[in-house]
Structure 1
Amino acid sequence: MKAYIQTDKNGEFYNVNAFVAYEGFKNFGFEIEKFTNLDEISNKNPEHIIVGGIGNVRRRLQDLNIIRKNKEIDYPTELKPYLKRNIWSSTINEIFNKKEWNIFIKPQTETKLFAGKVIKSEMDFLGLINEEKETEVWCSELINFKTEWRCFIRYKEILDIRRYKGDWDTKIDVKTVNDAINSFISQPNSYALDFGVDENGEMFLVEVNDGHSLGTYGLSSAHYAKFLSARWSELTQTKDFLNF
């Protein structure tokens, strides 16, 4: 069992996620090998997990001839009742031409193209419009979330719930989270359900995120290693050595 973990040019782990993964996989007995550039890795064994930025993880999957869907999970059809707001598909140019203001947008396919943002005027399109290529985006009605949590799901069970925004004393309804898990028929082996609560105390599903390269958000090193391993083994159709 081996885990390749990304570092910077000085050999330091590229961020806290990499360090936490290192601690987790090391304590589970994995052989650890650092890398700065994927070209350094000649071994093509799909059992060897890659921990790094989302671009490196996806490139490694491509190098292993593993095809994954271009679009993100984001808003699964099965979980539409938990969204509780209108969400639709569009393009940057279409939104600009129609002057659809006061909405939230995020990329559909190129996750790192830009961070999700609120569109309130023409000025918010600076740097987004590409004359040569239509950029597909998800659009959403605005909700003023008071508090947001990331629920880490592994093998259809809650692994942990971490608050990442808002008031510490706001409560999340765990029953709603479990109901969403049970409704998500097509769920992967590890992923995150982000839930938010507005100023009226109503709970909304913010979005769903694939588990192959998510940040720790405070997860323990053991939980983080198990979370990453579950999704990697599913994508590569290999054994999950941490499935316990």
Structure 2
Amino acid sequence: MWSVIIQKERGEFVNANGFNAWQGFDERGFEISFFDWEQMDSGVATVDPGTITVGSVRYVRRALQRIGIETMPLDYPIRLRGYLGRRIWQTTWAEVRSRIDSPGVPVFVKPVEQDKAFTGYVVSAFRDLIRTAKWPGEMKLWASEPFPFVSEWRYFVRRGEVIGVGHYKGDPLRSPDVSVIRGAVEDYAGEAPVAYGIDFGIAASGGTHLVEVNDGFSLGCLGLGPLAYSAFLEDRWRELVRTIT
């Protein structure tokens, strides 16, 4: 029987995601234990391929690293580039900082490899660099022209099927075109992980476009029920550790 580790800090669930996962795994009869970040990082928490780990992206990545697995953000899969509706390219902080004085050239940036290092945002003036000044010039970034969305939604995909949806930003009465969602899920099927989140939004100029794709190993539940959420997390963990089991 597989077991589960769920992150807690100071004896409390970190957020609703951990509580939701605990409910699902508990109802399904899994053996569950709790450890904080320091215990995970130091090795006090026993990690092995048969122990599903639930927590923040940093927490789960650390567990995977301890058993020899590295993960990379999914972000903008090649098969889905046609759904973006905007140009996206890779750059570095050094390049962005060198061009900051160019008038009228705002750019949206987010990390490539350290996907949770900071939340993506628009850089248009020197003051916008202050909050990310600590990051080195060689740090890789995704860049795109600013592309405002008036409504953003996440679709949970497990084993090729959409199993849930949650609205997380903007106007909740503006829904994406479901035919676009179905087309994207189908187009991505050949290379997609077993469980992932695919975010779509309604552009200010109209139309349904891809926001980004997120790996399922530590994705927030965003309204997905406990049983479905625990199965979603379990499937992705099993897929990731399959290479070493």
Same fold per TM (> 0.5)?
A: yes
Q: Which residue of 1 aligns with 2:242?
A: 237
Give the 5 Å matches for 1:1-244. Answer: 1-9=2-10, 11-36=11-36, 37-38=39-40, 39-42=43-46, 44-69=47-72, 72-99=73-100, 101-130=105-134, 133-184=137-188, 185-237=190-242
- Indicate if the aligned counterparts of 1:92 and 1:129 stay in contact, CA closer than 8 A: no
Q: In 2, distance between residues paired with 1:166 and 1:16?
A: 21
Q: Any runs of at least 4 consecutive aligned residues in structure 1 with deviations exceeding 3 A, and if so which?
A: 129-133
- Indicate if the aligned counterparts of 1:191 and 1:209 stay in contact, CA closer than 8 A: yes
By how many angstroms is 1:45 displaced? 3.0
- In structure 2, relative to structure 1, the CA distance for the partners of 1:48 and 1:88 (3 Å cut) is same
- In structure 2, relative to structure 1, the CA distance for the partners of 1:133 and 1:96 (3 Å cut) is closer
The letter of the residue matching 1:78 is: R
Number of residues of Structure 1 aligned to a counterpart in Structure 2 = 234
Q: Which runs of 5+ in 2 are unaligned?
A: none
Percent identity for Structure 1 against Structure 2: 38
The letter of the residue matching 2:28 is: F
By how many angstroms is 1:2 displaced? 1.1
By how many angstroms is 1:144 displaced? 1.6
The letter of the residue matching 2:90 is: S
Q: Deviations over 1:63-86 (max 9, x none)?
A: 1112334xx110111001100100
The letter of the residue matching 2:99 is: K
- Indicate if the aligned counterparts of 2:154 and 2:200 stay in contact, CA closer than 8 A: yes
Q: In 1, distance between residues paired with 2:93 and 2:24?
A: 41
TM-score with structure 2 setting the length: 0.90
Q: Which runs of 5+ in 1 are unaligned?
A: 239-244
- Indicate if the aligned counterparts of 1:92 and 1:128 stay in contact, CA closer than 8 A: no
Q: In 2, distance between residues paired with 1:202 and 1:131?
A: 35
By how many angstroms is 1:156 displaced? 0.9
TM-score with structure 1 setting the length: 0.91
The letter of the residue matching 1:193 is: I
By how many angstroms is 1:219 displaced? 1.1
- Indicate if the aligned counterparts of 1:107 and 1:136 stay in contact, CA closer than 8 A: yes
By how many angstroms is 1:148 displaced? 0.3
Q: Deviations over 1:96-116 (max 9, x none)?
A: 112363111000011222111
SS of match in other structure, 1:7 = strand
- In structure 2, relative to structure 1, the CA distance for the partners of 1:170 and 1:48 (3 Å cut) is same
- Indicate if the aligned counterparts of 2:61 and 2:70 stay in contact, CA closer than 8 A: no
By how many angstroms is 1:160 displaced? 0.7
Q: In 2, distance between residues paired with 1:45 and 1:109?
A: 24
Q: In 1, distance between residues paired with 2:137 and 2:19?
A: 37
Structure (1 or 2) with the greater helix fraction: 2
- My pick for the range that moved more, 121-130 or 56-65, is 121-130
Q: In 1, distance between residues paired with 2:19 and 2:209?
A: 32
